[in-house]
């Protein structure tokens, strides 16, 4: 694949640790610079890279000659501004989800990348692992016949139980749908194709929550977004997905994702993980499926490797901004449909990403 892609990391918060674990073992990607609002935190991450990276200011990082791609791990409200700054400096971008918090921001990012001839990629890359990709291969091989319906459930009592600074999950750009929905919706697009119409309903049972761990435990903060979201998604092929995303469920025994077809059913593992067991129901019984597709032993940052390989091979990268923009549009349209009390069309479209085989 040639020289490694050189990466400058913006945002050295909690999620950066998972990326650093992966980047440290990828030959095709090399961390060269780090910036954070807290300079000490940036310096600590640079030191963790074993001297291969330097701590820098944000302005310096996007201008550096030894940065090819900016890895944007900031909070959701900063995703689009950081991406636009990187693109204007001539850098490719790989960002955490969501791509942006509004359609207008997403359109601006896509337009800037197009105008500059640069690539924008976006998490989640979990769907490139063996779990979702093995399930996709089973659907594509017709093992369940023609897909008819799917269910997707993400239920938790809320991230404040474990995150020391959870407020952003409960502000605009947060909530269970915008936070966790990208994993599930990206997987569903891989499995069933883009979404063309949605219906939704939402609820906000509590107006306040409290930090549950860390030095700020007990701190009360306001909830300004809906925390229980349910919807029905119509895919291009006609399959219907029932979706539930919630920060208001103490415990549940619901599957993560199931896909049901004319000849059988498929149990798909957690799309927030790269691996997991895929099970097929046919002829009266469930049977585990062998791993047949996907990046093996993957971790957060595998999408960067896929981007680097795509640049080298001159092919589209799989964790694309177009997919991320479509997923964002689906989520925002679902919330619009809930507010308006009716079903709404989804006007954006994207290509179903190429499988990982």
pLDDT of residue 69: 98
pLDDT of residue 199: 98
Contacts of 14 (CB under 8 A, 6+ apart): 163
pLDDT at 14 over 90: no
What is the C-alpha to C-alpha distance for residues 295 and 264, in angstroms, rounded to an integer? 26
Q: Let me know: does 158 contact 247? Beta carbons within 8 Å.
A: yes
Confidence of residue 2 (pLDDT cuts 50, 70, 90): confident
Q: Let me know: does 32 contact 67? Beta carbons within 8 Å.
A: yes
Cβ neighbours, 10 Å, residue 354: 13
What is the C-alpha to C-alpha distance for residues 319 and 246, in angstroms, rounded to an integer? 25
pLDDT at 51 over 80: no
What pLDDT, in 10s, does the model give residues 113-167?
999 999 999 999 999 999 999 999 999 999 999 999 999 999 999 999 999 999 9
pLDDT of residue 1: 56
Average pLDDT for 198-225: 96
Terminal CA-CA length for the chain: 18
pLDDT of residue 49: 80
Confidence of residue 48 (pLDDT cuts 50, 70, 90): confident
Q: Determine the distance from the C-alpha atom of residue 322 to the mean position of all C-alpha atoms in its chain, rounded to a whole number.
A: 13
List residues bridging with 210 in a β-sheet.
220
What is the C-alpha to C-alpha distance for residues 115 and 93, in angstroms, rounded to an integer? 14
Is the preceding omega at residue 98 within 30 degrees of 0, hence cis?
A: yes
Confidence of residue 351 (pLDDT cuts 50, 70, 90): very high
**What are the start and end residues of each CATH 3.40.50.720 domain in the chain?**
5-122
List residues bridging with 268 in a β-sheet.
257
What is the C-alpha to C-alpha distance for residues 319 and 97, in angstroms, rounded to an integer? 11
What pLDDT, in 10s, does the model give residues 248-272?
999 999 999 999 999 999 999 999 9
Residue 256 CB-half CA count within 13 A = 21
Q: Let me know: does 315 contact 307? Beta carbons within 8 Å.
A: no
Is beta strand 69-72 parallel, antiparallel or unpaired with respect to 228-235? unpaired
pLDDT of residue 174: 87
pLDDT of residue 173: 80
What is the C-alpha to C-alpha distance for residues 82 and 65, in angstroms, rounded to an integer? 18
Q: Let me know: does 335 contact 181? Beta carbons within 8 Å.
A: no
Nearest by Cα to 19 from 155, 125, 156, 171: 125
Mean pLDDT taken over the chain: 96
Q: In what order do the strands lie in the sheet with 92-95?
A: 54-55, 29-35, 5-10, 69-72, 92-95, 120-122
What is the H or E stretch that residue 74 is in? Answer: none
Contacts of 141 (CB under 8 A, 6+ apart): none
**What are the start and end residues of each CATH 3.30.360.10 domain in the chain?**
128-293+325-345
What is the C-alpha to C-alpha distance for residues 119 and 130, in angstroms, rounded to an integer? 25
What pLDDT, in 10s, does the model give residues 273-290?
999 999 999 999 999 999
What pLDDT, in 10s, does the model give residues 57-79?
999 999 999 999 999 999 888 99
- Architecture of the domain whose range is 128-293+325-345: 2-Layer Sandwich (3.30)
Given the candidates 2.40.30.20, 3.30.70.1350, 3.40.50.720, 1.10.40.30, the CATH classification of the domain at 5-122 is 3.40.50.720
pLDDT at 307 over 80: yes
What is the C-alpha to C-alpha distance for residues 208 and 1, in angstroms, rounded to an integer? 50
Q: Is the dihedral of CA 286, 273, 301, 91 positive or negative?
A: positive
């Amino acid at each position: 694949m040639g020289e490694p892609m050189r990466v400058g990391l913006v945002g050295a918060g909690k999620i950066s640790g998972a990326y650093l674990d992966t980047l440290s073992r990828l030959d095709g990607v090399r961390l060269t610079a780090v910036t954070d609002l807290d300079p000490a935190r940036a310096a600590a991450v640079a030191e963790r890279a074993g001297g291969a990276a330097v701590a820098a200011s944000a302005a310096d990082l996007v201008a550096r000659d030894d940065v090819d791609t900016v890895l944007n791990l900031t909070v959701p409200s900063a995703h689009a501004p950081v991406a636009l700054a990187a693109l204007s400096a001539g850098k490719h971008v790989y960002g955490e989800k969501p791509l942006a918090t509004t359609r207008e921001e997403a359109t601006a990012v896509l337009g800037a990348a197009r105008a500059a001839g640069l690539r924008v990629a976006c998490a989640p890359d979990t769907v490139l692992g063996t779990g979702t990709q093995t399930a996709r291969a089973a659907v594509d091989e017709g093992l369940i016949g023609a897909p008819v319906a799917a269910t997707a459930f993400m239920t938790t009592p809320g991230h404040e139980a474990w995150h020391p600074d959870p407020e952003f999950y409960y502000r605009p750009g947060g909530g269970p749908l915008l936070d966790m929905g990208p994993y599930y919706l990206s997987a569903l697009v891989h499995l069933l194709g883009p979404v063309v119409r949605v219906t939704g309903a939402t609820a906000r049972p509590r107006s306040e929550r409290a930090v549950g761990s860390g030095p700020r435990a007990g701190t009360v903060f306001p909830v300004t977004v809906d925390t229980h979201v349910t919807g029905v998604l119509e895919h291009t092929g006609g399959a219907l997905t029932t979706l539930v995303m919630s920060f208001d469920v103490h415990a549940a025994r619901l599957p993560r994702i199931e896909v049901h077809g004319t000849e059988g059913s498929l149990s798909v593992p957690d799309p927030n993980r790269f691996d997991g067991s895929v099970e097929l129901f046919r002829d009266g019984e469930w049977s585990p499926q062998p791993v047949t597709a996907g990046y093996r032993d993957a971790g957060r940052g595998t999408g960067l490797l896929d981007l680097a390989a795509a640049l080298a091979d001159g092919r589209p990268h799989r964790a694309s901004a177009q997919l991320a923009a479509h997923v964002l549009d689906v989520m925002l349209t679902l919330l619009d449909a809930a507010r308006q009390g009716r079903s709404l069309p989804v006007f954006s479209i994207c290509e179903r990403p190429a499988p990982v085989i």
